[in-house]
Amino acid sequence: MAASIQTQPRFFYPPGGIMIWILIVVELLTFGIAMIALAVSSKENPELFHQSRLHLNTYIGTLNTIFLLASGFFMAVAVQETKNNNHKLTAKYILLALSGGGLFLILKSLEYYVKIEQGLTVGHNTFFTYYWLLTLFHLIHVLVGMGILTGLYFSVRKGITPERKENIGAGAAFWHMCDIIWLFLFPVLYLIL
């Protein structure tokens, strides 16, 4: 079986497996369509969107961007350490990636709390409907990603096997998707509108 996989074009057997990449493409398309809808809505009422955006804290958004990018970096290093068959360093870097995700969640929760206290909830106006739907959908992905990374952390502590390498590749691909989505959401919501 392994020999037949290696003779097939790599396109059908990307790191992490084809199914994770199909999921990633579907998720990116979903977020892309939602952001296009946001852009169209913002053109219909630019002043409302601009004034609403001013209620977002760009410092929190920037810090969250840094946390996710650092987390993605640590996950990339973890993948590299699996190639070196170093399960201790792999586990360490997965834990660091999880820490970045945890910091993101703490800061995002604080931001949500402030918005709710200010009455800027999902029904406040069209901008905040998009803000809540997009950021909550992203937050769900971060939570799922952290669950995946937690499972990988405990798995890899037992050692590195070919199956675990594949799982770490898939988990890293999903985690990087969360980074990519945030790298589009942050400027669109916090900076441009």
**Residue ranges per structural domain of the chain:** 16-192
Ranked by mean pLDDT, the top range of 22-31, 105-114, 178-187 is: 105-114
Note the pLDDT of residue 28: 87
Q: What percent of the chain has pLDDT over 90?
A: 65
Other C-beta atoms lying within 10 Å of the C-beta of residue 37:
13
**What would the pLDDT profile of 30-66 be if each residue is shown by its tens digit?**
888 988 998 899 899 999 999 999 999 999 999 999 9
Handedness of CA 193, 38, 70, 115 (dihedral sign): positive
Q: What is the pTM of this model?
A: 0.84
More confident residue, 137 or 12: 137
Judged against a pLDDT cut of 50, whether residue 5 lies above it is answered with no
**Tokens at residue 106, please?**
């703490």
Note the pLDDT of residue 160: 85
CA–CA gap between residue 25 and residue 33 (Å, rounded):
12
The closest of 156, 162, 144, 160 to 24, measured between CA atoms, is 144
In terms of phi and psi (left: phi > 0; alpha: psi -120 to 50; beta: otherwise), the region of 35 is alpha
Superfamily, domain 16-192: Cytochrome c oxidase, subunit III, four-helix bundle (1.20.120.80)
CA–CA gap between residue 180 and residue 24 (Å, rounded):
10
The closest of 173, 110, 130 to 38, measured between CA atoms, is 130
Note the pLDDT of residue 121: 92
Note the pLDDT of residue 179: 93
Report which DSSP code applies to 1: -
Note the pLDDT of residue 183: 93
CA 101 to centroid of chain Cα atoms? 9
